[in-house]
Amino acid sequence: MFIIRPIRHTDLEVLLEIARESGPGFTSLPADAEFLANKIRQSVETLSRSDAAPGPETYLFVLEDSDSGEIAGTCGITAAVGLDMPFYHYHLGTVVHSSRELGVYNEFKTLNLCNDYTGSSELCTLYMRPKYRHSGQGTLLSKSRFLFMAEHSGRFDDRVIAEMRGFTDEQHTNPFWEGLGRRFFSMDYDQADHLTGAGNKVFIAELMPKHSIYIHLLPEDAQEVIGKVHPNTEPACKMLRREGFRFENYIDIFDAGPTLAARQGDIRAINKSRRARVIVDDSPPPDGARRHLVANTLTTGFRCLMTPLSPERKTLRLSAEQAAALSLQEGDEARLLRL
């Protein structure tokens, strides 16, 4: 059985392995043991607080195979970005150069450095380990965060964003970085990515140009990857669009990956989820049962799994094993989402 649970201090070693596996471009998970240990501590402490308001903390969760004890993947939510350090994007804009006298009218696309998403909640750190990518549990790993947000909405901002990993080729080279970033940072993409992932973002403000950048002046291969996602990120991008997330013309300043955004109330998995009372019943699911996510209503003890169900209006039936995995008993309330 696969189940989502909050990360623990004992998960540091496997989280470090995942950080190494994920490779360049996975900014929110640098392969730095001290940094990751602090992220885990922050998550554990924030979950334990009953009055947590949106702040710079990141809630981290893992997908665990309860049969083997192995960690199949990880995901996270930062409650509010940009409150402890600047949170940068490029905004895609348009400027017009025209001369009525000469009969010339030109529109140019531009990049403008900004902090427009400051204070937003961010879906982050989504990674499924390669050996589990065909287990069908990617939906659980990604969407479980929405059930947690639906149950604990006061911990998060109304606006939710997700930065999609930008395109890199087989040599882990990013054409956008080579065409723009390298000219100002004088370092390799991997080094810049590691620095910003580890929280060292001061150099961005120090080295990036403060004026508009005209996109048509960039190399063609750099222009072509603006707003393009990494092949491994395409499924997550499609899923978020189905959930109601939209591209608002903001891209990552390093790899030009798109940032998607939505309001909590517009996210399908949040507004379609509901509470129901648990009935413990070991009978097999009836014919026609549909896949659902089911989660308890806890914070530190949060658990979520995916199972076929035919829920009634106000109740749902779980096996004794499922109820135990979710720390639920007969009569408790759970949150469920039909997939």
| Whether residue 172 has pLDDT greater than 80 | no
* More confidently predicted of 260 and 194: 260
What pLDDT does residue 24 have?
61
Q: Considering 89, 194, 230, 292, which one is annotated as catalytic?
A: 230
pLDDT per residue as tens digits for the range 270-292: 999 999 999 999 988 888 889 99
Phi then psi for residue 269, to 5 deg, are: -65, -25
- The answer to whether the beta carbons of residues 89 and 111 sit under 8 Å apart is no
What pLDDT does residue 202 have?
64
What pLDDT does residue 30 have?
81
What pLDDT does residue 15 have?
95
Alpha-carbon distance of 29 to 39, in angstroms, equals 10
| Whether residue 192 has pLDDT greater than 80 | no
What pLDDT does residue 291 have?
94
pLDDT per residue as tens digits for the range 19-70: 888 876 566 788 889 989 999 999 999 999 887 788 898 999 999 999 999 9
Alpha-carbon distance of 281 to 56, in angstroms, equals 41
What pLDDT does residue 198 have?
62
Give the other-Cβ count within 10 Å of 56's Cβ. 15
* More confidently predicted of 195 and 25: 195
What pLDDT does residue 199 have?
61
How far is C-alpha 92 from the geometric centre of its chain's CA atoms?
A: 22
Alpha-carbon distance of 10 to 8, in angstroms, equals 5
Average pLDDT value for the chain: 91
Would you put residue 81 in left (φ > 0), alpha (ψ -120 to 50) or beta?
A: beta
Whether 172 is catalytic: no
The domains found in the chain, sorted by start residue, are 2-90+113-269 (3.40.630.30), 274-338 (2.40.40.20)
* More confidently predicted of 183 and 259: 259
What pLDDT does residue 186 have?
78
**Mean pLDDT value of segment 211-218:** 94
**Mean pLDDT value of segment 149-165:** 95
